[in-house]
Amino acid sequence: MVSIVLAACAGAPAPSAQTSAVPSAAKAAPVPADVLRAGAITVGLQPNPNLVSGTDANGAPRGVAPDLINALAARMGVKVVWADVTDNEKAVQNVQSGAWDMLLASPDGAGMSSLDFVGYLDIDHTLLVPPTSAIRSFADADKPGVKIWVFKGAPVERTLARAVKSATIVAKAWPTIPAFLADLKAGGWDAYAQNRQGLMDLSKDIAASRVLDDRFGATTQSIGVRKERADLLAYVNEFVIEAKFSGVIKRSIETFKIQGVQPAQ
């Protein structure tokens, strides 16, 4: 559970009524010629609990993000090649070099400004508090002297910085998963900021800790492409519009029971 947390962080119309609701322009962009020639798209995927919910019998990832990308590949008539993201900077470089076609990430993440993005999933950000905490809401936490820990460089760090008025933000870069967990168990924090699903998983490892009911912000999980790939960006954008109208994203959220997320607005 902890490894996933450390690595991360609206209704739809019924299908029968959706075809006419999708703008005609949503089917206008052709599949990029280089994608057709390759017969595959290579996609960088982070081990984020909002995106990935395990693997299938063949070892392929399952979850909201794999569902969406598999549908995109099927629409294109190509296969998907998954690439694990272990370093965001290297992942961005792989997209920029053309080694990867896409990266699933948040534009709020460190180093992401060099890519163009199409958002598909809004992810709530909230707080985990220790067992004895009197904090019941973000307003309770945003007080002078309250220390809110956050993973340095994660999308939630930017969201938190925009929301906090009085509390002290402590951004930390834990070198290993055991170090992260040991630090939290040792105490010294009043709240820890992350996405809701990640915190629900983490709360199982921090006995009697609580995830707050409210949220202080959100980030939009997106499909990132190289800025020079206007053709691919246009195709992906049109596909995501269709996915929202058809309910693909909403149904996937329900299937995998992901909390604190909704199709991007």
Asked whether the predicted pLDDT for residue 67 surpasses 90, the reply is: yes
Confidence (pLDDT) at 226: 97
Q: Which amino acid is at 213?
A: D
Q: What secondary structure letter does DSSP report for 245? A: H
CA distance 118 to 116: 7
CA distance 103 to 93: 10
Confidence (pLDDT) at 16: 30
| Longest CA–CA separation in the chain, Å | 59
pTM of the model: 0.80
Pick from 1-5, 8-12, 162-166, 167-171: least confident: 8-12
Asked whether the predicted pLDDT for residue 12 surpasses 80, the reply is: no
Asked whether the predicted pLDDT for residue 91 surpasses 50, the reply is: yes
> Residue 21: how many CB atoms within 10 A of its CB?
11
Confidence (pLDDT) at 136: 98
106-149: per-residue pLDDT in tens? Answer: 998 888 999 999 999 999 999 999 999 999 999 999 999 999 99
Closest CA to 46 of 82, 6, 101, 84: 84
Confidence (pLDDT) at 27: 52
Half-sphere exposure of 239 (CA within 13 A, CB side): 20
Torsion angle of the four alpha carbons 143, 144, 145, 149, in this order, in degrees rounded to the nearest 10: 60
Asked whether the predicted pLDDT for residue 253 surpasses 90, the reply is: yes
> Mean pLDDT throughout 73-101?
96
Asked whether the predicted pLDDT for residue 9 surpasses 50, the reply is: no
39-60: per-residue pLDDT in tens? Answer: 999 999 998 889 999 999 999 9
Q: Which residues of 52-78 are buried (b: 16+ CB within 10 A; e: fewer)?
A: bbeeeeeeebbbbbbbbbbbbbeebeb
Confidence (pLDDT) at 14: 30
Sign of the Cα pseudo-torsion (27, 32, 37, 38, in order):
negative
Residue 109 contacts residue 187 (beta carbons within 8 Å): no
Confidence (pLDDT) at 265: 87
Asked whether the predicted pLDDT for residue 251 surpasses 70, the reply is: yes
> Mean pLDDT throughout 62-82?
98
Asked whether the predicted pLDDT for residue 80 surpasses 70, the reply is: yes
- Beta strands per DSSP E along 106-157: 115-129, 147-151
Residue 123's DSSP bridge partners are 219, 261
179-235: per-residue pLDDT in tens? Answer: 999 999 999 999 999 999 999 999 999 999 999 999 999 999 999 999 999 999 999
Confidence (pLDDT) at 24: 46
Closest CA to 68 of 265, 225, 222, 257: 222
